[in-house]
Amino acid sequence: MKKILVKGKTQGIILKSLNPINFLGTVDKQTGVISDKNHDLFDKSIKNCILVFPNGVGSSVGAYTIYSIKSNNVAPLAMICQKADLTVATGCALANIPLIIVNENEFSSFHTGQKILLDTESLNPITNI
Amino acid sequence: MELTKEEESALKGEQGEIMQMAYRILVATGEATDADKLIPIEWAHLSGVNYNTIGDSGEEFLSGISKTARVKVKTTLNPMGFDIDNVSNYGLDDNFISKQLSIRKSYEAMGVIPSFSCIPYEIFDIPKEGTHVSFAESNAAIHANSFNNLKTNKESAFSALASAITGKSPYSLLRKEDSPNITIRMKVDNPNEMTYGMLGFFAGKVGNDSVNISGIEEMDRRSCKAMCGGMGTSGTCAKFLFGDGESNCEKVDFDKKEMNNIYDELNTAEKGDLITLGSPQLGLEEISDLTSKLKGRSFKKRCIIFCPRIVKEQAIKIGYTNELQRAGCEILADCCTCLTPLINKNNVDSVTTNSIKGAYYLKNSNGVDVNLKSLSQIIKDETR
């Protein structure tokens, strides 16, 4: 069962994290690099990937960070989460980044490096390519 | 979510980019909170004003959208970072001041009333019973739902902004029926405003969307505000219903033990370097009461009072501000204890306050220690 929070169509390569992401504190607005040493994506850029992570955490002001990384052209192409949280939902809505919520099974089936087509208007919104 | 034809067309971008973005926010928020449709609202109250909280990203975003975005319904605004009348006394850097003034300008350009207040329910007329509004300020949302017979979600800064621009909001749980699954039994005797603040803080932790509260006698305005402020700080719960609730409700006691746990969590100092009053901001009634309590007395240390500008102006006319300044108070309009840039750990170690909400943010955002005391205790200990 998938839930479409922000519509859109894109294709790209998955970058998956098993840790929640705090956009306000730990994502560099100029580079899109995760700066939290304890995060499993530490030192990696989330630019132009399909970012798969459980959910956002931290201040709702993090939504502005998502808007900023999009303005600076270092945002992910789309995001896929396991849990809907308002910070990521509104951030993706502000920045017009497609956002899909998936269930636990689907979430665990994704892996970094997987190439997918994401189209929220399609009957099957996420397909391997 | 079911959208009307017009809403679908806005979401597709047929009514411009700003409308499209606003509807994207409403749909994303609505889907995330299991709303099935959007409904019209009559009044939006926005958070996301203080440069201390929204930073450069927020300032840039607002400056960008303010070129074309205009609000569709009455829209009021949360506090900002300082009172322009006396900001030079507080050593804020020029960058902060210019960025804050840019934020102010952006909101004004969009047609927002620059009220800079977290107590819109006290300084504006309340619409008729059952009216839907969108309040992003947590204490104001709880006050609207619990004491003003209005209906609001506990909105985010973004959903409230989208509501202001579209005149709509997701029809989520709090706007529908009240069905708290928990009843908090208030057992503490002789409560003061701080007790109610802690009761609210406790309720926010144990409740989901709404809670029943039993065992409450009549409360004064100060206590109502303290309770809403406390609840908004600790969780996502956004409504009190007074009474025992349904018989199948889970019952939880709020007694001395529960109260002392919260006190110990938030009270981290024996005394404060200065005193703050107002989080939520003080209204005219509280200023009047404070003025009479301070007759013939003055503070032994700095005491900063936060209130809305309209309240400050009325207080000047009536002569309260003269009295309060004589007693050693500094009176600041347009800003609030909560998330103030005027107090930080470089210039202050600890603050005395009667506000549970203020205590939480002073500790967690400003990084200073807090000494909690009721107003009557503050006047007893800190004045002569």
> Among the residues of chain B, which ranges form H helices?
5-11, 17-32, 51-65, 94-109, 120-123, 138-147, 157-166, 193-206, 221-234, 256-266, 284-293, 309-318, 320-326, 356-364, 375-382
Q: Based on the domain organization, do B66 and B168 belong to the same domain?
A: yes
What ipTM was estimated for this complex? 0.91
CA distances from B141 to B63, B156, B167, B265 (A): 26, 11, 17, 25
What is the distance in angstroms between the Cα of A42 and the nearest Cα belonging to chain B? Answer: 22
User: What is d(CA B270, CA B267) in angstroms, rounded to the nearest whole number?
Assistant: 8
Chain pair A-B, CB pairs under 8 angstroms: 72
Mean pLDDT value across residues B61-82: 97
> For residue A86, what is the nearest residue in chain B, using CA coordinates?
B29
Q: Does B53 touch chain A (CB under 8 A)?
A: yes
Q: What is the structure's pLDDT at A104?
A: 96
Under DSSP, is residue B75 helix (H, G, I), strand (E, B) or coil?
strand
Boundaries of domain holding B278: 267-382
* CATH code assigned at A31: 3.50.30.10
B18 and B49 share a domain?
A: yes
Ranges A8-12, A47-51, A117-121, B246-250: which has the least confidence: B246-250
To the nearest 10 degrees (0 to 180), the angle between helices B51-65 and B94-109 is 50
Same domain, B14 and B106: yes
SS3 of B144-179: the string is HHHHCCCECCECCHHHHHHHHHHCEEECCHHHCCCC
Q: Is B211 in the same domain as B310?
A: no
Total domains in chain A come to: 1
Exactly one of A59, A60, A68, A122 is catalytic; name it: A59
In this prediction, residue B206 has a pLDDT band, given cuts at 50, 70 and 90, of very high
Contact residues, B window 129-168, toward A, CB-based 8 Å cutoff: 156-159
Q: How far apart are the CA of B202 and the nearest CA of chain A, in angstroms?
A: 21
Assign A85 a pLDDT band (cuts: 50, 70, 90). Answer: confident
| pLDDT tops 80 at residue A59 | no
Residue A69: pLDDT over 80? yes
Residue range B200-221: average pLDDT? 93
Classified as helix, coil or strand, B366 is coil
CA distance A53 to A55: 6
Residue B80 has pLDDT above 90, yes or no: yes
**Cβ contact (<8 Å) for B57 and A86?**
no
Rounded to an integer, the average pLDDT of A7-12 is 98
The 8-class DSSP code of residue B82 comes to -
B226 and B81 co-located in one domain: no
Residues B291 and B213 occupy one common structural domain: no
Residue B7 pLDDT > 90: yes
pLDDT value at residue B47: 93
pLDDT in tens, B81-110: 999 999 999 999 999 999 999 999 999 999
**B59, two tokens:** 């300032």
Q: What is the CATH number of the domain that holds B164?
A: 3.30.499
Q: Identify the pLDDT of residue B311.
A: 98
Cβ-proximal residues to B84 (8 Å cutoff; 6+ apart), any chain: B334
Mutate to test the interface with B, among A69, A88, A94, A97 (most CBs of B within 10 A): A94
The model's confidence at residue A122, banded by pLDDT at 50, 70 and 90, is very high
**Confidence (pLDDT) at A89:** 95
Of B32, B53, B158, the CB nearest to A94: B158
Whether residue B26 is found in the same domain as residue B146? yes
Q: Which residues contact B80 (CB under 8 A, 6 or more apart)?
A: B49, B50, B51, B100, B103, B104, B116, B334, B335
pLDDT at B348: 95
**pLDDT average, residue stretch B344-370:** 93
pLDDT at B208: 86
Tens-digit pLDDT profile for residues B282-295 = 999 999 999 999 99
User: Same domain, yes or no, for B203 and B164?
Assistant: no
pLDDT value, residue B236: 82
- Choose among B82, B5, B16: nearest CA to B51: B82
pLDDT at B188: 97
Q: Rounded distance, CA B110 to CA B112, Å?
A: 6
In Å, how far is B363's CA from the nearest CA of chain A?
A: 16
Does B27 reach chain A within 8 Å, measured CB to CB?
yes
The number of domains in chain B is: 3
Active site residue A59: yes
Chain B residues whose CB is inside 8 A of the A5 CB are: 27-28, 31-32
pLDDT above 90 (res B133): yes
Domain that holds residue A47: 3-128
Residue in B27, B63, B158, B339 to test binding to A, most A beta-carbons within 10 Å: B158
Q: Is the dihedral of CA B156, B158, B164, B167 positive or negative?
A: negative
Under 8 Å between Cβ of B45 and B78: yes
Tell me which residue of A38, A13, A10 sits closest to A26, measured CA to CA. Answer: A38
Supply the pLDDT for residue A86: 87
Contacts with B, A 42-81, CB within 8 Å: 59-61, 63-65, 67-68, 71
Residues B9 and B157 in one domain: yes
Q: Residue B338 pLDDT more than 90?
A: no
pLDDT value at residue B150: 98
Q: Average pLDDT, whole number, for chain B?
A: 96
Q: Are residues B303 and B193 in the same domain?
A: no
Single out the residue in B140, B175, B210 at which a domain terminates. B175
What percentage of chain B exceeds 90 in pLDDT? 91
What percentage of chain B has pLDDT greater than the value 70?
Answer: 100
With beta carbons under 8 A apart, name residues in chain B contacting A67: 57, 61
Q: Are the Cβ atoms of B31 and A64 closer than 8 angstroms? A: no
- Tokens in use for B72? 């569709």
Whether the predicted pLDDT of B3 surpasses 80: yes
